[in-house]
Amino acid sequence: MKIFKNFNEYSSQKPLALSLGMFDGVHLGHKSIINELIKVGSENNLETAILTFWPHPRFVFNPNEDLKLLNTLEEKKFLMDKYGIDNLFLKEFDEDFRNLTGEEFVRQILVDKLHIKYLIIGYDHSFGKNKSGNFDLLQKLSKELGFEVEQMEAINIHENNISSTKVRNALLSGNIKEATEMLGYPYSVSGTVTHGKKIGRTIGYPTANIKTDSIKLLPKKGAYIVEVEVNSRQYKGMLSIGTNPTVNGDQLTVEVYILDFNEDIYDKPITVKFRDYLHDEIKFESLEKLIERLDEDKRLTEMFPF
């Protein structure tokens, strides 16, 4: 997959079948668009492309908003490449770009610079200044400018349209299975293993503290069954997101106990994939009660079908 941060860098012998949007999470709704792009590209000898924005435009419009994303940039690149996209355009949502009307965007960017021949948009997608670009505008301009346009229908699970917002809400509610269904893959968090207070090792449950990307959404506080990838191997794990109230902690931490594992992994990269929710964050009346709960969590994790 070729990646472009500047439209002027792009040139190709083949015209494009393209879709645009944030694609945060690259969930099953996005996957349906990607699959259609690949089908259209194959049938019409077109290269496929996604035009997305980085950073997220909401960081521009609402700089004080504490927005958390489902994907880091590296995760989004990985998923786009995995799903078979030929070209990924990462456009900075700067002042000039945000002032383009929908029609100016189509004429100046999609047609003049990218030479699109087929455009696919989501069921509720709008673009351009004041959201002036929509499917009706695209249908009108497509006839004049010589490209085809298609609007995808929403993808539903349990009679609900899939959206990035609904995935976020599921994760923030601890509903891991629902989030996995909408994404089409387990939600993951990656980071670097850092030194913590090392309390876990004193009670038989040494944990790896994970320093995560500040823009990455963390699921609801609590305990989770996770799949752990470290040193290119997979393990079962129990993960905690919270402040460790039993030992009067005051900092939010992400800590994972890796089953059947005893290696020094400080400063190593680690990825955890969320498989199920165990329980809310609990302040236990004693360390003995905490250990009893950890023993039960470990039993449930061992039994979980990975």
Q: Output 74 or 248, whichever has higher pLDDT.
A: 74
CA distances from 77 to 3, 71, 129, 184, 225 (A): 9, 9, 27, 17, 26
Taking residues 52-59, report their average pLDDT.
86
**What CATH number does residue 261 fall under?**
2.40.30.30
Helices (H) and strands (E) in the chain, counts: 9, 14
So what's the pLDDT on residue 286? 92
- For residue range 187-221, list pLDDT tens digits in order: 999 999 999 887 888 899 999 999 999 999 999 99
Give the total residue count for the chain.
306
Phi-psi region of 297 (alpha: psi -120 to 50; beta: other; left: phi over 0): alpha
* Cα(270)–Cα(256) distance, integer angstroms: 10
Same domain for 129 and 191, yes or no, is no
Q: What are the tokens at 19? A: 């879709």
Task: Please identify which residue in the block is written with the tokens 């944030």.
Answer: 22
Cα 94 → chain centroid: 22
Phi-psi region of 144 (alpha: psi -120 to 50; beta: other; left: phi over 0): alpha
So what's the pLDDT on residue 123? 85
Same domain for 222 and 298, yes or no, is yes
Of 273, 72, 278, the C-alpha closest to 179 is 273
Q: What are the tokens at 81? A: 């490449």
Q: What are the tokens at 5? A: 């941060």
Any domain includes 119? yes
**What CATH number does residue 97 fall under?**
3.40.50.620
* Cα(277)–Cα(174) distance, integer angstroms: 6
Same domain for 69 and 205, yes or no, is no
* Residue 60: pLDDT over 80: no
Average pLDDT, the chain: 94
Same domain for 49 and 135, yes or no, is yes
Name the residue range of residue 146's domain. Answer: 2-161
Of 243, 210, 238, the C-alpha closest to 226 is 238
Pairing of strands 47-53, 16-20: parallel
* Cα(228)–Cα(231) distance, integer angstroms: 10
